[in-house]
Amino acid sequence: MKTAKTAKTAKKTPEKIGLDLDKVGDLLDQAKGIAREYRTITGRPLGITGEVAGYEAARLLHLSLCRARQADYDATGPDGKKYQIKGRVIYARSKPGKNFGSIRLDHEWDAVLLVLLEADFSPTEIYEAERSEVEKALVEPGAPARNVRGALNIAKFKSIARLVWSRDAKKAGEK
C-alpha cells in the first residue's frame, strides 16, 4: 500500500504520445509564419523554438515524442534511447558563443539532441551528445552558466557531440 509520501515521490514514467506528424507540421508551419512576423514587428522572439526543435528531431530522426512539460526526457528512439531535445535559432548576426536551454543532470536521459534552426525555423543540423560527455562538460571547472545552470554554449556542445543530421548532407545526397 502506498502512503501519501511515497505517492508524491514516486517517479512517473513519461508517457509517449502518438502524433500525426503531418498535422503537427502543418500547424507549426503556421506558427513559424506568425513567429517570423512577430519578430519583424517587435524585434523579440515568440518562443516556439523548443516545440519546433522537438518536432523536427522526431520527424527527421524517427523518434517518439513524450507528453509536453514532463521533466526527464522529451523523446525516445526506436531502440528505447531517451533524449532531451534542445533547440536554438541561429540568426545572421548571432555570436558563436550562444547558450541554449539548461541540461538537468538530476533527470533520467541517455543523450541530448541539439537542433539548430535558421531564422525561418528550418532545421540545418542536429547534433547528439551522450550523457557521459555532457556530464563531463557540465562539471568541468569554468563558467558559472555551465556549472550552476547546466548551460552549454553551442561551440562546446558541438565539440562533444556528433552530427546526426544535416540539411547540407541531405541536399548532397539528393539527385
CA 75 to chain centre: 10
As given in the structure block, the three cell numbers for residue 94 are 548571432
Q: In a structure prediction context, what are the per-residue pLDDT tens digits for the chain, which is 175 residues long? A: 444 443 333 444 445 556 678 888 899 999 999 999 999 999 898 889 999 999 999 999 999 998 776 768 999 999 999 999 999 999 877 766 687 888 888 889 999 999 999 999 999 999 999 999 999 998 887 665 555 667 888 999 999 999 999 999 865 555 4
For residue 6, the model assigns a pLDDT of: 39
Cα–Cα distance measured from residue 101 to residue 85, given in angstroms and rounded to the nearest whole number? 9
Evaluate whether 116 touches 50 at the Cβ level (below 8 Å): no
> Would you say 86 and 112 are in contact if contact means Cβ atoms under 8 Å apart?
yes
C-alpha cell at 85: 531535445
pLDDT value of position 151: 81
Q: Which domains does the chain have, with CATH numbers?
A: 48-173 (3.40.210.10)
Q: What's the grid cell of residue 112?
A: 541530448
Do residues 110 and 85 make contact, with C-beta atoms less than 8 angstroms apart?
A: no
Residues 87 and 71: their CA atoms lie apart, in Å, by 16
What is the reported pLDDT for 143? 61
Beta bridge partners of 89: 117
